[in-house]
Structures are given as C-alpha cells and as structure tokens.
A and B are shown apart, each in its own frame.
Chain A
Amino acid sequence: MNSDIKREELLISQLADLLVNDKHVAVGAASPIPGAAALLAKEEAKLNNKRLRVTILHSNKYNNFTDGARELFDCAAQGRIDTFFLGGVQIDGQANINLVGTGTYPKIEKRFPGSFGSALMYFVVPQIILFREEHSPRTLVDQVDFISAPGASDENIYRPGGPKYLITNRALFKFNKDLKKFSLLKLNQNQTIQDIKELTGFKFDISENISDMLNPDTTRLKTLRDKIAPMVSEFYPEFTNRIWGI
C-alpha cells in the first residue's frame, strides 16, 4: 500500500499534521496541496469533536467571506486566521520570500506572477507555512533577488505573525525567529542530511529531534482519496486530474 503513495499525498499529510491546533486556516492562490491539507485537517478535526474553519480563496464553496477580496486581509489583520501558506520563486535562509522574479529588480531576467498578498499576510498571520515543492539551490538560496515579504522585522514594526515552517518535496524545516535561521526537522523518505545540505542554497541548523516524514496511514489515505480529492477538484481541477485522475 505504502509504495503507491504519491509524493503530493505525503506532503498533504505532513501539512495536515501542522494544522491540528488551528481554529481557522486560510489558503490563497495556486495552492492545491495546502488546500487539500486544510480540508483533510478539517475532516479529521470533526472526528476528534473539534472544529476547524477552512477558507479557500479560489473556491466558491469553501470560502467564508462575503465582503469582497479585501476581507481576507482585513480578517488576517484582525488576528482571525491562525495559519496561511506562502510560496516563493526563491526563499532564503532568513525566510525572506521572492515571488516577483530573478535578476536585479527592476531589470528582471525571469519574471514570475508577483507578490500577491504576501507583504501583509506574512506580518499578521501567526503561523505562516512556506511551501515550495522544488528543493534545489535555485529555489532555496542564500539571499533572494527581491524581497516580496521579509522573514523578520525590526522591533518597532507591528508584527504578530511570521514564518514557522518551510516544507519542500524533500524536507521540513522549522524557523527559529530569534536566530533568524531554519532548522531541519524532517526528511522525506530516501533523503539524507547530506542530500539536503547539497540541495539547499542556505545554511541551516539540524534539529536534535530530526526524523522521517511519516506516510499517511490507511484511514487518512482513504479520507484523502475518497472524500477530499473530489472537494479539491471544484477549485483545482487540473491538479486533481493529474494526481487522482478525477
């Protein structure tokens, strides 16, 4: 059974584990894996008699907002969102993220979509999970070419939120706010610490409790495939077709 678990399913499962203490998780643009993880965590919370609210921006059905697109940002600034996900063309060792492009701005070499709402969400949501599937020296860099949102701010800046974790298809890191540095927490199966060192463009610490990411158990996998996948297909049809053929 375990051999046919897809990489995306493992990441969804790992992300769902990071959401167990939340009351409200929001998911933004271009985030099928975080979206699936949030809905999975919600489904599992129900089994434990807990309630998790999930807001998926690009869904009509799983969207709790009625006051237009600005409500996500207002709601986050009010402290009503516990976890949000951000990505990055580049992410650096101080957790600065770049969603704009490579090269020296404004003379961009390779242009990507843009910063979306990152420059506010990163400041106000307590648990930001950085999510970037590609784990390579070109995505995880020593210093980003453009800071869409900084990983840390000066003391006098209002900042109740910030980076907590970084997950890639190879590893899970925890961010240490005081040291402004990532610490390697979990490895995807078949990865070694040495592999991760070679594929990461920034220096990081290694957690004393480092372990392997756990595959989803049979129950979780069944929930994900039978129940969550069809829900995700409403707002990420291309993704669900590719992963689950629906």
Chain B
Amino acid sequence: MSETTNSVANKDPILSVIDLSVSLPPRADRPFAVENVNFDVYPGEILCIVGESGSGKSMSSNAVMGLLPKPHVNVASGQIMFEGLDLTSISDQQMQSIRGSKIGMIFQEPMTALNPVMKVNKQLEEVFNSHHLKLSRKEVKAKIIEMLDDVGLPDPKIIGNSYPFELSGGQRQRVMIAMALALEPKVLIADEPTTALDVTTQAQILKLVAQLQEKRNMGVIFITHDFGVVAEIADRVIVMQLGKIVEQGPAEQVLNRPEHPYTKKLIATVPSLSAQQKAPVTADVVVSVKNLFKTYGSTKKPLFGSAGRIVHAAKDVNLEIRKGETLGLVGESGSGKSTVGRCIIRLHHSDSGVIDFQGQDILGLSDSQMMPMRQHIQMIFQDPYASLNPRRKIGDIITEGPTIHGVSKQESWKKAEELLEIVGLDKYALKRYPHEFSGGQRQRIGIARALAMSPKLLIADEAVSALDVSVQSQVLELLDEIKTKMDLAMLFVTHDLRVAAQVCDKIAVMKLGEIVEYGPTYEVFHNPQHAYTKSLLEAVPGKDWVVPDLSLS
C-alpha cells in the first residue's frame, strides 16, 4: 500500500488510520459506519475518498478530526496515528490543540460553516486566538491579509472587512480554506468542498487546493462523490462502499483499470463528456417559446428604502422542442434555466412572450382556460424529498392529477399500478408513504406521477442532480426509455454538462437569462462558439479523463 505512487514512495505517512471501526447506534441500518478501514496519508499528496451517500466516507474523516456525533456514534476499535499520537485515545483538550493547527478541515456548505454575524477578519482572528499563539495584533492582521491573498481573494482588506453574506459562494469557500490553512496544518481534510459550487467556481477551487497543497507540502484528504473531481486532482484514490474500503490505489490505476466490481460499476455509470452525433429530430414541434421575458424584483420605489434591483431571469428566450426530442437547458446557478422551465409550465408568470403549445399560446390563457392544458405539460422536480407530500400515500400522490381531471378513482389507481411497474417499483408501494422510500425510488415515483397525466411535454428540472451516480444513471435510463416509448418532448434543465452530453439531442446554454448558444449537442460540445460555453466546458472536472468502457468486462 505504501509503495503506491512514485512521488510518495520513500516518505513516511503523516497520518495513518489503522483498522478503524466506527459504531452506529443500535437502531441504524448497519452496525458500523466505518469498518476495519486502513489508509495512510503522505505529505504532498491528495488522497481522494470516493463513495456514494452512506458509504461512510465522511464518517472516516470526522473520526480523524474527532468530530463524530458522540455519544451515538463512537470509534469502536482501531487507531488513528498522527505525529506519534493515537487520536482516538487522547483527551478532548489535546484534540482541540491539534484540530485547526495541525489538521485543518473545510466543509461542503461555506454558507453555514462561516458565522453569518461575524466579519471575515474576526473569524480568522478567532483561529489565531483560540490556539494561544504569542502574536501581536499587528502580526495577526498582517497574517490574515497574507492568508486571504494566498487563497486568491482580490483585495484582501475589503474582503476581510465584509460579512459572509456579502461574498459569493466561491469567495466564501476561499475564506473557509484560508481559515483551515491559517495555522499551516500538515493535513487538510476537505469534505465535498466543491459540491455546492458552480462548475466554473469549482474548477477554480480545485486548482487552488492543488496549488496550496503543493506549495506547503500538505497531505490532503479530499472526500467527494464525483469521479470527475477525482480524475481532476487525486494522486491516490480510496473507494468506499457501506463502510468498507473496496479498492485503493493510484488515481490513474483506479480510474482506468478498476479491479473491484463495485468500482467498475461506479465508473461505468459516470456519464462521458463526449457527445454522440445524433440524427436531428424532424417530428412535429410540440412547444415553441418565442421572445420570453421574465424579471424578478421591481423598479417601483417602496415606501421605505431605495428602489429594488431587477434581475433578468429570462431575456428574449427562444427555443423549440419537437416530439421525441430532448432539449438540454444548461447553465450555472442564477442563469435562469429553471425559471424558463417554470414559465413554460406556468408555475411562474412571464412578463411577455409567446409559448406556443401545439398551436395555442398558453401564456395568454386564463387560469381556467389553462386547466385542460395542464395535463399535457408535466414536471419532474429536483429534490425527491420535498417533491412528494409526506402526509399522503403514494397512490394518492400519483392519482391526484387524473382525479382532478375527472378520471374515475378505480381507473386512475389501475393506471398508477401500471405506471409503478414501468418505473420499476411494485404495486404495493401505492399504499405506503414517501418516507419509506430512498431518494432514487422517490424520484421514480415523481416520474410516475408526471406520467399519470399522459403528458406531451415533460420538464425535468435538475431531475437527477440530487441522486447518487449509480442511481442517477438508472433514472436517466428510465427517462430515456419513457421518452422513446411515449414519444415525449422533453426539456432537460441541468447544470451537469456530463449528463447533458449523454441525454440531450439539442443544447441551449444560458447565461444571466439569455441563451448564448443553441444547437445540436454534438456541435455544442465539440465545436463551441460562444466564449461562455467554452469556459463551461473547460471547467468540467476531469475533462481530460476518458471514461473507460467497462461494459465488456
């Protein structure tokens, strides 16, 4: 294990996890969150721990930091050796002095990991103060500015003087990194630090982590679920499944020649970034959107304060979707892609424009005129936990739509049974409540609910973004199958270019409410015209990694 990569061959590990097991409370679904885990971290390397949700990847790093949610979750056995100390057996006080100064950590949500009512400067000062360093105020101040400069923040003085809410997500994550690195730790633990960020910001943060790691010769434990990120930065990779390490080795080896069946399965489900050339769809146009405008906020001056800011969520948006065609609407957060989807289904009011649905402008219809049109356009939502009513049975949820439109109860229940079969669940699910299902299963239920209306246009709003990669590929397969079987037009809203490359016939790239590029998927991916599209594609993590074809083995 220690002779893994050339760069670390002759060094001693700075952190060794030996036979670590972390126990879960008695009512949990398995006895150990982490079971007999062994790994070493060497100075100057990035060790990626990958796995799906619930694989124990975060638990193993929390154990290192002594951040397990005690008393329910405890280290059951094993050692964590760091500088000759066993971190599992030292006192809380000793742990506190190590935490932050020798082992730093950055978290997924920069929004919640920073104190919202404290200026950035103050928070960084805290780090120094809590470790009783003999530094004068002046020295601390200089140090803070140096730190902020180090993590690539422009104008460290101004940034230091602002509150977290005044910063963007990427800037917050940089501040987090500055905090974690303030005392020059030897090990940095990064728990999904880029998951909540946009793809271009993510690329910058990944680059920053790699740079700092090299500069300071740190060991980095980088936890992620995204194989693209692994391909981008990892030196070595650990793959975890249900609390156990199933494979570990150099990144190049694990990514391209995985040995364990689970790793193979995971990698096989990673969508490739290269789009296939597809024949253009020439069937009838189902929906065409012309000159759609939508703004948030108003210029009207309120009684107190100044006039609000106007945000263009959709600015002269034009697009059309044909029968059996999937149009991908891609862009970063705040680009207005979801708004366009919601305007088409009339969940949001549009300011102006025409949405021509099979010859009828649905924007001009009154609510009661819209009623019969509702069944033709359906939507699948992002969060499978919030999109099903927790107090209603699955059967009631699926049959709600048809019942509203006058289908008899028996008939709609019968149809619901068939639909559940199509989406791969058995009919007993009808009598159960949403909380009894996993995220992937719930998303299938959401799809069944949309299909119960026999729609002609399906809007998938980030429908697979909240799912684990293996579940994601299954749901994508299901969506594709349904689309072909029922000859649906589909608007696929996503921020994930890999997914878009595999699913969509055409792509529309949105930026700040405007479509900046619109064309067949193959063209957009292999010959992007607009600078923004180019930068998006450039930022996709692991873009140079060609996902190996493992279907034969």
**Chains A and B form a bound pair:** no
Interface residues of A (CB under 8 A from B): none
Interface residues of B (CB under 8 A from A): none
